[in-house]
Structure 1
């Protein structure tokens, strides 16, 4: 049953227009990175509970990829997030006009369709501190979210999001 819920949320996140953009340093040998940790002073922009949720999801994903968390890591992870309000500019115009006897008149009304949509942008950086804090991989995701979702749905959201974010890590050259 838990797997079905996860697949449903994964489908929901992937179908709701989650966009992930990647960037990386092309000279990086990704095979050298086996251990990681998070920056201790990380300011995620998420609640403390959501920060724990996304870190759990990242830990689980990186473990399946053969990496492990370490106190003396090969690289550090930084997570940043911000809420973005996207204004909906979709409207339907209704107009009326007329003219007669050399005069013209008109009325036009714009009716908004839908409403504003909140999206969350999450940036995940991989930084090699041994090489002067060199950023070598970055993923930027943007997807819609529900602020009032249950804790289980929030965890499922982050699990699905992390799956999509790490779908192209390490990059194919």
Structure 2
């Protein structure tokens, strides 16, 4: 019974964990910002990738919900940039095996660790910078990852959810 209770509490606490982390300049008065634009150096290759398009659409939707006006980058209060930062991690792809023997309080055991593989995933990071002084005033990073095995619809939903959660914490101090 105790194990079931601990497992249930772990699930509840995991459900309460935020999927994004934000940081901001505490000296900034966010109420002074009424307009935004995408940063002009956002596109280095000249092409808009599929994920870039998904992120742009999600950001535009969130700023529209906040009643902020989109202006050319030379006139906007805030400049928005984002990137999908690659991160490598190890993933268990099987189970470890072992055996042991013993008697009483003494025994011997031998085991093999589970097989693992290295995978690369992408973490979305969005930054808002004050156009006048070109300093980042707000930053959000996702704790959920994009990977190459996700379908286009799954990627779109994930980006929409993450960007929505990011902007639920903007402006800071209102949530």
Is the pair's TM-score, using the shorter chain for normalization, greater than 0.5? yes
Greater relative CO, 1 or 2 (CA 8 Å, sep 6+): 1
Q: Does 1:96 align with 2:100?
A: yes
1:123 is matched with which residue: 116, 125, 129? 125
**SS of corresponding position for 1:171:** coil
1:79 is displaced (CA, Å) by 0.4
Residue 30 of structure 2 is matched in structure 1 by 30
Residue 146 of structure 2 is matched in structure 1 by 145
Q: Determine the C-alpha separation between the residues in 1 that align with 2:125 and 2:144.
A: 12
The two structures have a TM-score, normalised by structure 1, of 0.72
Q: Determine the C-alpha separation between the residues in 2 that align with 1:111 and 1:49.
A: 35
1:86 is displaced (CA, Å) by 1.7
Q: Determine the C-alpha separation between the residues in 1 that align with 2:122 and 2:148.
A: 10
Residue 136 of structure 2 is matched in structure 1 by 135
Residue 11 of structure 2 is matched in structure 1 by none
1:151 is displaced (CA, Å) by 3.2
**SS of corresponding position for 1:130:** coil
1:75 is displaced (CA, Å) by 1.1
Structure 1 unaligned segments of length 5 or more: list them.
1-13, 99-103
After superposition, the CA RMSD in angstroms is 3.4
Aligned residues: 153
Would you identify which runs of 4 or more consecutive aligned residues in structure 1 move more than 6 Å? 44-47
Structure 2 unaligned segments of length 5 or more: list them.
1-13
Q: Determine the C-alpha separation between the residues in 1 that align with 2:40 and 2:54.
A: 16
In structure 2, do the counterparts of structure 1 residues 38 and 97 end up closer, same or farther at CA, with 3 Å as the change threshold? same
2:83 is matched with which residue: 70, 80, 83? 80
The two structures have a TM-score, normalised by structure 2, of 0.71
Q: Determine the C-alpha separation between the residues in 2 that align with 1:68 and 1:143.
A: 29
